[in-house]
Structure 1
Amino acid sequence: MSGYHSSGLGSLFDQHDQTGGFQADHSTPRTSLTATAASSTARQHTTSSYEEEEEDDLDDTTETGPLLHQAPSRPGGHIAIDLGEDLVGGRIPQRTPAEYKTITRELVNGNLILDVPVPTQVSQYSSLTGQHEFDYMRYSAATCDPDDFKKSGFSLRQQLYDPPRVTELFIVITMYNEDQELLYRTLHGVFQNITNLNKRKDATWDDESWKKVVVCIVSDGRFKANVGSLCAIAALGAYQSAVPVTTVNDENVVAHIFEYSTQVPISVIAPTSTRDDEKGVPPIQIIFCLKEQNQKKINSHRWFFNAFGPILLPEVCVLLDVGTMPGPTSIYHLWKAFDMNPGVAGACGEIVAMKGTYGENLVNPLVAAQNFEYKMANILDKPLESVLGYITVLPGAFSAYRYTALQNDELGEGPLQKYFMGDLQAGQTTDIFTANMYLAEDRVLCWELVSKRKSAYILHYVKSAYAETDLPEFISQRRRWLNGSFFAAVHSIWHFNYIYRSTHTFARKFWIHVEMAYQLYNLLFSWFALGNYYIAFVILSTSLEFLAPSIGSFNVFLKYVYIGLLIMSFLLALGNKPQASRWMYMIAFLGFGCLTMASFIVAYQGLKFDGTDDGPLIVRIFTNSVARDIVISLLSTYGLYIISSLIALDPWHMVTSFVQYLLIAPSYIMILNVYAFANIHDISWGTKTEVVDKDPNQAVPGKNKNEVKLRLPTEKEELDRAYDDAIFVLKAKPIVVDQKPDPTHSEDFFKTIRTNVLLAWVLSNALLASTISSKIPTVESVQLGTDKNSSGYFTFILYSIAMLALIRFIGSSMYMFVWMFGNTAIEFLSSARA
């Protein structure tokens, strides 16, 4: 192992100079828990206790203070933990900082940085003992903005080795208040991928590949974090709840950074798991960034990219959400896309809905419909956009970026500057368009990468990479997605001229223009979807009266039900949060599903019993223009779905989820679109911030300018006891924090804009629907000779849908052709390079 230079960091124990590979650099200030004024006698302590210095001007009581929760003792003399409601987030239940002795520590460049020994239980899993990174956890109390992290004198362990370690992959896992089961799932997938990289033998990866991979977990708010997840990270040795301080020399700490290279098996943090495939997992370099306040996911990414990125200078950055589990080799396949093509700035794989054991989750029609939607997006949309070079969105739950491609130019403008604009403007007055656009900041980032000045970057879809994830809360999440994607799409189309500042070839610019035209067409269709669906419904219902007049009264009833459900959707969207109206929304979904089913039944019955003997049903279909156009449109659309799924070698969703999607599809327009446009004033996606209560542990000024006094445990047994407590919590029932609706923006200005946009959307769709509906022929108009014709517009809608599906199918087929026949060449080139 390469030598480790402490840069002023000492051990908590007096035997630190004997740890293998660790070389204390005494030329810089020491920030270990070794007291600077300790006597030579004090340095004779054994490794079972910290060296300490009591201060006269602070309470130095050593008596055991009250525990957070008193409960009967459990075997072994440890304290049983009472998992009360007040422990859903925050600290692992253990002793309070007020119980520890006060000690003095020196600062490094004005920053509090400590090397803390890991508990004995963590050390027992280490096969590489006697090395500093496995025996000590490093803690840094950041009092600066993430953009100032490096220039404020902070560093990371990877830069302290001799020579400094090269980071090829930098993986971030963003966390809010998810429980340990979701964290376990993600870490399990990440650990599997690092193990796979460590077993590879090529020009980049070998049996020490783990040194080239750093896993960064960023938790959004210390007192919002789930206690079970904190216990899981503590079980890995990358967190100790007694260490964080809230102030350093009266400056508020904004983030707590813990660094540790763990060898603890992942099964330790999931005691109920029966997995045994963690054997042979190499050490995992972990950075755990615990933000003091909840400041949203985009701020967590700013810590990752702007604070830690400039220090590690990684080649590829991988983004994951807690709960998303990448496939065992998926991260390697993402990295391979960057390695084989230096022009790739970003890449993503397939997001797979978690279907449960034997697909049991598909029993829920909402899960099945979303599963179908995800599958078709990954079979048709992502491949088409990948072929054209511009993927409109790389999902934040599982995607990767080339770090150098993200960097801003010399003027400070570029992809990261645009990406973090929403975070930097948090709390400031901004226009509603920008606020909604930054609900989908990943879409903004994708456009900025492709159109980056003096660059020719493309985005790529990697079919062989996938990640499983739980489906999010449906309506509220879709509101953010729909509003964010709509305004981001308007932004990219309006600024399509940005593509000319890039150095793309003429051919690439041409195809990006083709894609922008395609996106514009889709945008217009989404705007008028409400009116077009009503027109299609009315034309279908009215035309059937010619075939079977007896069902005319039933069609009128269906129209009233349709309008009633639509009004109900508007009232719910304007007056209620989905969480408060679950049953009403369920009725609306069920109503539109039944309406769709009834329409199909009525259509079939109308064609089957039309009172004529003109031949078989297929003949009657093609002798009726409306029926013929509907059948051709449906066959061309869903027929292409089936064919493209077969070509992609993934057709099972057509069997398990197609019918559910078909029944819920109208609700995507009538409920989700209505809710989205009715709530564009709500920009609460990640814009919440709060002030939390101060923790009693603070690093206050010491006697000297470069010293601070703080309370820390002074016995190693206390660390071991805290570790036992964490394991005890993990064995208990997972602690789940109730999700509360996000507060909405209450300014009248935003609500006024919401009203204007909603009126424009509703009135434009109503005008279209009324204009076309007035030209729909009825039985009476035909009998009176005043027939009006609207079949032309209806035919336009149907064939436009078929045309859009055909474009997606062509793009998907081209991608599959390249993927199938190109992989052989890629593997050949890869082996040749190795």
Structure 2
Amino acid sequence: MAYNGWGMNRLARPSGRNQYEDHGSLLMHASPMGTQPSPTAPLPSSHFRPPPRSPGYGPLTPTSPASRYGLPPGYHTPASIPPFSSPRPLGYRKTVRHIELQQGNLVFDHPVSTKLLQQVRYNQGEEFTHMRYSAITCDPAQMVACKYTVRQQLWKRRTELMIIVTVCDEEAGSFLRTINAVISNIAHLCNRSKSKTWGMDGWQKIVVCIVADGRSKINPRVLQVLGAMGCYQDGVARTQVAGKPVAGHMYEYTAQVAVDPESSRLYGVDKGSAPMQVLFLLKEQNRKKLNSHLWALRGLAPMLNPNICIMLDVGTKPGGTALYHMWKTFDRASYVGAACGEIEVDLGEGWSKLLNPMTAAQNFEFKMSYILDKPLESVFGYISALPSNFSAYRYAALKDTGPGEGPLATYFKPEEGDISDAKGVFQANMYLAEDRILAFELIAKRDVGWLTKYVRGAKAKIQVPTSAALFVAQRRRSVNGRFFAQLYSVVHYGKVLSGGLNIWRKFLLFFFTIYNFICLMYDWFCLANFYLTFFFLTNASIPITYETYTNGKIATSQIPAGVPDPFFGEGQIIFSVLRELYIMLIVILFITSLGNRPQASKVLYLIIFILFAIVSIIVIYVLIFIMFKTMPKSVAAWKAAVHILSASPAFRDIFFSLGATLILYLIMSCVYADPWHIFTCLLQYLAVLPGYVNITMVYAFCNVHDVQWGETAEKPPALGAAAVVTNKQGAQIATVEVPVKKSDINANYEEYLRDLSRPEIKAPSKRDKVTKQQDYYKLFRTNLILGWMFSNALLIIVLSSNSMMQWIATHISPVLASSAQSYNPYLTFILWSVLGFAVVRSAGSLFYLGFRLVLG
């Protein structure tokens, strides 16, 4: 038997009758995969192209040829199809198969529909004609010890890329956005004919691992999509093997078709699209995304032994060349242990989604983060947050250095370890941002100097929350996770010193740790800082200095307190009402956050966002008013600008801090050739910013005790057991009842196509039961909120009280006393610190561009 260099063919089967046409009991022994491959025709020499939407494979409508899908003659109109219901009962006959266990495990090959094989280009060879099913009865970390195998290792194929796609209960449209983008990226890699790694057979080096979080949690339509692709079949899985419960169901198949998310059309079958090796692991229980990563990295990765692992969440749509750019970063620099690309907000056709202020604000935040923050962190060699929805890791860098020690050991501590001690609530919140923990542990790994990088050329789009309630609920986990994980990295900086980085890199990370600590302090006092900025800018006691130009001389005068008024004499009343409103909103936030979920208080959170936006708009108006009243009004006055700046601290601070910050944002956005968010999203971001910060911080800290993970879904219905007996030769034989006849398998496949042709009926979402938390967790929340509230309140009371400021200035600093009489020094500190952060971030961003131009 010959090996043709691109795939393994159908295994040798016992000669004689066609066993798949029998209806009775059969004795079928699963042959070890990859031992006797048969020759087949090689792939054509033409390059692969991204799968277009093919009009030849349209939806199941009366205008489509039914014979193309093998539909029954009775099908004429969509109305003749019964209403969609799931899970649908198996309507086909099943045949008893007696399968010899492979090293004690239930693993067997099951034929795919001939209707599917009629639509694809390559319909010969075991990987195309059969799907492989494995019932996993052990923990993920024990899969190698229990002698489970995957096709890739049996065929001795090298795995360069392992693409991990995590699925929970997302809709089929989100799933197809991601999986179709992956197909396009695989086609691009196969088109790189001059590459030493990729080329026409490059798809053999890529395995797409789809890990679904719970059999009862996964959307039934996603299973229909996978069934139409040939990667899943009803009726073959078991929930018990030889008395052992099955923890996961693993399906392996090399797919050649995809489904269009808009029309449910099959496409890619007639244009030479690259095959895609799919490993679909359906977990029996719902145990959240961290557990899905455990299955992928502890269970599947040791068998595949990939070079690079790329993480994707369902709903993330990587660009057509994103995976190549991500891989190239590792290929170019052997010291890169992890990398992340740029996450972009899906703005819709013609940027129509920017009409929603929440979407526009998030778009501005994402853009500035990937223009300033990520490049700065990349210069230091430490990306503090590698987004789990689009990031990549070198598998060698993830491996542990010893039992219970290393990146993966720390990353999977909530799954493999015990965090129920007194430190549990801190660690539990820390692991809400587990990607930050993994990034820190990777650079702190002993004896190895791994670095993390930002890849500007790798872009992926995501859909963001469009309502205030969804936004607050989503940000709760990220805010708490970021705060505690960042605190963990600052406190445990000593691990970096004992790691394998060189002395220069450790020196840089020392300064980066100081930078992170300062950011933590600003996060802690953000509640007070926002209120104090609003208070000082709207306080009628702030004097405004202005200039006059007469007889060739510049003269400065001070406007009396409250005159002129930005609201034509009503400013004191308006400002007084707004300050009371601001405090009232904070109180309402605390009360609401302690007792209600955002989804149950949608209108209230929307009103709070609107009121905070009104406050923000008034602050912007006051800033513009102060700038207009204090700025020079003539050419001669501008020549004496130094005099004006020294005489007018309000103009100086506002102009040089906020004005220079916005100018830096614009300059850096232009340098990165992406300035459009400045013009389309800046105003929405400034309006939403106070609510953006106050609401998310208050809600996050008020729910710091909520650290749900683990099994939350109900137990799914049983699929049947596989009884195991030992024959006379000592071999273990499993008895399973599965559809075997070709007509039954085809009927099942036709059912997937029918289901996909019907419009998806979205079931109303159900609220999960809230897990009761321990008393210690709630006590920790109480102490944290009290400490946070009182520290911020103390800062507000001290700095907003004139008598307190005068007492501090008189007894501590005479310089402060003179400053306080003319202008509040704390407001000066806040305004200039904003500029300081912008300068540091911009400098790091420029260094990143320089290194990118020199080093590539």
What's the TM-score bracket when you normalise by the shorter of the two chains? 0.7 to 0.9
Equivalent positions of 1:211-290 (< 5 A) are: 211-264=204-257, 266-267=258-259, 271-272=263-264, 279-290=271-282
User: For the residues of structure 1 that align with 2:145 and 2:455, how far apart are their CA atoms?
Assistant: 37
Q: CA deviation at 1:694?
A: 3.1
Q: 1:749 aligns with which of 753, 771, 776?
A: 776
How far is the alpha carbon of 1:606 from its aligned partner? 5.9
Q: Is the 8 A contact 1:117 1:137 kept in 2?
A: yes
- Corresponding position: 1:793 with 2:826: yes
Measure the CA separation in 2 of the matches of 1:747 and 1:577: 19
Asked if 1:763 corresponds to 2:751, the answer is no
**What residue number does 1:414 align with?**
406
Amino acid at match of 2:717: K
- When residues 254 and 275 of structure 1 are mapped into structure 2, their CA distance, relative to the original with a 3 A threshold, is closer
In the alignment, what sits opposite 2:140? 146
533, 536, 542: which one pairs with 1:536? 533
Instruction: Please report how far the alpha carbon of residue 448 of structure 1 lies from its aligned counterpart in structure 2 after TM superposition.
Output: 0.4
Match of 2:102 among 105, 108, 112: 108
**In structure 1, which of residues 593, 598, 606 is the aligned counterpart of residue 613 of structure 2?**
593
Q: In structure 1, which of residues 27, 41, 52 is the aligned counterpart of residue 25 of structure 2? A: 52
The correspondence of residues 647-658 of structure 1 with structure 2, limited to 5 A, is 647-658=671-682
SS at match of 2:374: helix
CA drift at 1:614: 11
The offset of 1:101, in angstroms, is 3.7
CA distances 1:199-218 after superposition (whole Å, capped 9, x unpaired):
11221112100100110100
Distance 1:427 1:259 in 2: 35
1:137-158: CA deviation from partner (whole Å, max 9, x where unpaired) = 0000001000001111110001
Q: Quick one: distance in 2 between partners of 1:602 and 1:708?
A: 78
The alpha-carbon deviation at position 291 of structure 1 amounts to: 0.5
Matched residue of 1:207: which SS? coil
Partner of 1:459 in structure 2?
452
Distance 1:274 1:23 in 2: 28
Give matches, 1:676-687, under 5 Å. 676-684=700-708, 686-687=709-710
Question: Which region of structure 1 is more displaced relative to structure 2, 418-427 or 373-382?
Answer: 418-427
1:383 aligns with 2:375: yes
Structure 1 partner of 2:471: 474
Partner in structure 1 of residue 712 of structure 2: 689
Report the counterpart of residue 730 of structure 1 in structure 2: 756
TM-score by length of 2: 0.84
- TM-score, normalization by structure 1: 0.86
Question: Where do residues 568-647 of structure 1 align in structure 2 (5 Å cutoff)?
Answer: 568-605=588-625, 623-647=647-671
TM-superposed CA distance for 1:613, in Å, is 10
Q: Which runs of 5+ in 1 are unaligned?
A: 6-18, 25-31, 35-39, 56-71, 824-834
State the Cα distance separating 1:125 from its structure 2 match.
Answer: 3.2
Q: 1:405 & 1:820 partners in 2: Cα distance?
A: 26
- Looking at structure 2, the residues matched to 578 and 679 of structure 1 have their Cα atoms a distance apart, in angstroms, of 12
Question: Kindly tell me: are residues 616 and 172 of structure 1, through their superposed partners in 2, closer, same or farther at Cα, counting changes over 3 Å?
Answer: farther
The code of the aligned residue for 2:592 comes to L
Task: Supply the distance in 2 between the matched residues of 1:690 and 1:267 (Cα, whole angstroms).
Answer: 29
Q: Which amino acid aligns with 1:664?
A: V
Instruction: Determine the structure 2 residue equivalent to 1:814.
Output: 847
Identity %: 36
Of residues 643, 666, 684, the one that matches 2:690 is 666
The alpha-carbon deviation at position 479 of structure 1 amounts to: 0.6
Partner of 1:62: none
> Which letter does structure 1 place at the counterpart of 2:9?
G
d(CA) in 2 for partners of 1:582 and 1:392? 32
- The structural deviation recorded for 1:341 is 0.6
Contact 2:260 2:267 in 1 (8 A): no
Aligned length: 765
Distance in 1, Cα, partners of 2:203 & 2:791: 57
Distance in 2 separating the partners of 1:787 and 1:403: 58
Q: Measure how far apart 1:596 and its partner are.
A: 0.8
Q: Residue 445 of structure 2 aligns to a residue in which SS? A: coil
**Per-residue deviation, 1:412:** 3.7
Question: How far off its partner does 1:46 sit?
Answer: 6.2
> What is the distance in 2 between the residues matched to 1:734 and 1:48?
35
Q: Helix, strand or coil: the match of 2:721?
A: coil
Whole-angstrom distance in 2 between the partners of 1:240 and 1:3? 29
Determine the C-alpha separation between the residues in 2 that align with 1:556 and 1:716: 79
Q: Do structure 1's residue 517 and structure 2's residue 509 form an aligned pair?
A: no
Match of 2:799? 772
Equivalence for 2:547:
none
C-alpha displacement at 1:702, in angstroms? Answer: 3.8
Name the structure 2 match of 1:567: 587
Distance 2:260 2:654 in 1: 57
Provide closer, same or farther for how the CA distance between residues 468 and 496 of structure 1 changes in structure 2, counting only shifts above 3 A: same
Q: 1:521 to 1:469 in 2, by over 3 A?
A: same
- Partner of 2:447: helix, strand, or coil? coil
Amino acid aligned to 2:826 = Y
**2:305 corresponds to 1:313:** yes
1:231 CA displacement: 0.6
**Paired residue for 1:21?**
9
> How far did 1:78 drift?
13
Equivalent-residue separation in structure 1 for 2:203 and 2:158 (angstroms): 11
Which amino acid counterpart does residue 697 of structure 1 have in structure 2? G
1:745/1:680 CA distance change after superposition, 3 Å: farther
CA distance in 2, matches of 1:683, 1:616: 62
Residues 155-170 of structure 1: pairs in structure 2 closer than 5 A: 155-161=149-155, 164-170=156-162
Distance 1:751 1:695 in 2: 37
Asked whether the 8 Å contact 1:195–1:280 carries over to 2, the reply is no
Indicate if the aligned counterparts of 1:319 and 1:400 stay in contact, CA closer than 8 A: yes
Matching residue within 492, 496, 500 for 1:495: 492
Residues 795-818 of structure 1: per-residue CA shift (max 9 Å, x gap): 111111111110000000111122
Q: How far 1:637 sits from its partner (Å)?
A: 1.6
1:347 equivalent to 2:339? Answer yes
Q: 1:611-634, CA deviations, whole angstroms, 9 ceiling, x for partnerless residues?
A: x99999998898532343123211
Identify the match of residue 742 of structure 2 among 690, 709, 716.
Answer: 716
**C-alpha distance in 2 between matches for 1:334 and 1:745:** 42
**Counterpart of 1:118?**
112
CA deviation after TM superposition for structure 1 residue 182, in Å:
0.9
* 1:706 counterpart residue number: 732
* Residues 18-39 of structure 1, C-alpha deviations (whole Å, 9 max, x = no match): x973444xxxxxxx9x9xxxxx
CA distance in 1, matches of 2:584, 2:90: 59
Which moved further from structure 2: 136-145 or 466-475? 466-475
On the 8 A contact 2:10/2:124 being kept in 1, the answer is no
CA contact (8 A) 1:393 1:443 kept: yes
CA distance in 2, matches of 1:172, 1:121: 29
Contact 1:597 1:663 in 2 (8 A): yes
Alignment partner of 2:230: what SS? coil
Provide closer, same or farther for how the CA distance between residues 735 and 217 of structure 1 changes in structure 2, counting only shifts above 3 A. Answer: farther
For 1:653, the aligned partner's letter is H
Q: Deviations over 1:155-212 (max 9, x none)?
A: 0001112xx0000000010000112111111111111111111111221112100100
Give the match for residue 95 of structure 1: 90
Secondary structure of the 2:537 match is helix
Instruction: Identify if the C-alpha distance between structure 1 residues 737 and 816 changes in structure 2 by more than 3 Å, giving closer, same or farther.
Output: farther
From the superposition, tell whether residues 547 and 506 of structure 1 become closer, same or farther in structure 2 (CA, over 3 Å).
Answer: farther
Could you say what the CA RMSD is over the residues aligned between the two structures, in angstroms? 3.2
Does 1:448 pair with 2:441? yes
Match of 1:369 in 2: 361
Deviations 1:398-425 (A, max 9, x none): 0000000000013341000011112224
Secondary structure, counterpart of 1:692 in structure 2: coil
- Alpha-carbon offset, residue 75 of structure 1: 4.4
Question: Partner letter of residue 533 of structure 2?
Answer: A
Task: Report SS of the residue matched to 1:657.
Answer: helix
**Structure 2 CA distance for aligned equivalents of residues 278 and 130 of structure 1:** 16
